[in-house]
Amino acid sequence: MKNLTDWFDRVYVINCAHRPDRLEETKRHLEETGMANNDWVHYYPAIIGDWTTHPADWGSGNGAWGCLRSHQRILEDVLHTRDGRHTLTLNNVLVLEDDVIFKEDSLEKLNEFMEDVPDDWGQIYLGGQHRRDKAQTRSPNVVIGGSVNRTHAYAVNQSTFQELYRHISYATDYRDTNKHIDHQLELAHRRKDWPVYCPKDWIVGQRAGSSNINGKINETKFW
């Protein structure tokens, strides 16, 4: 069976420099579950909002600012990964955060899902939180996400690289709010800016531990 590094051109894992424990735990978990080849995973240094601070018109705190900037930077790198003719060389990427946890049958469910995902996908969520009703597709393994929250396990197709980057970077939408990047992405899902597909049952959850965004101790959740 194929794993994540087989299905996607590049797999990123975002990790904060002050959380080497989470980095090592994620590496070990990916290896033990067979979900990815660690040699091919790009472990990406997060922007730590407490170290950079945030703009004066940002109302969501340092943690949320660091999260947004980390995801922006990955997309910036993706958009600059080009050949000698300046053509994009990545067809798609998967972005994971360093608190991911997989179910025991995740590899099997991943393959069932990916084999059935429609070719027009703009975003794929392997884990998240549905905040509006999901719609059915012709496949029993695939549903359409109408408003998906969380950013711990999503993929972006090349056709959506620029549009998604532009959307999450639109500062006006964040002003006078406490929105985070995942709330901004939900707005695009609700408008159907690009096709969003998810497995019928989530494959990836968030494991227990302290949040880098708000410092709270969270339980393991698959939403």
Cβ neighbours for 50, distance < 8 A, ≥ 6 positions apart: 62, 63, 66
Q: Where are the domains of the chain?
A: 4-218
Mean pLDDT of 46-72: 97
Query: What three-state secondary structure class fits 128?
Result: coil
| Sign of the torsion angle spanned by Cα atoms 20, 23, 25, 27 | negative
The enclosing H or E element of 85 equals none
Please say if the pLDDT value at position 218 is more than 90.
Answer: no
> How much is the pTM?
0.94
Residue 223: pLDDT band with limits 50, 70, 90? confident
Q: Which residues contact 183 (CB under 8 A, 6 or more apart)?
A: 149
In one-letter notation, the amino acid at residue 80 is H
Q: pLDDT, tens digit, for every residue of 198-212?
A: 999 999 999 987 665
The CATH code of domain 4-218 reads 3.90.550
Q: How confident is the model at residue 191 (pLDDT cuts 50, 70, 90)?
A: very high
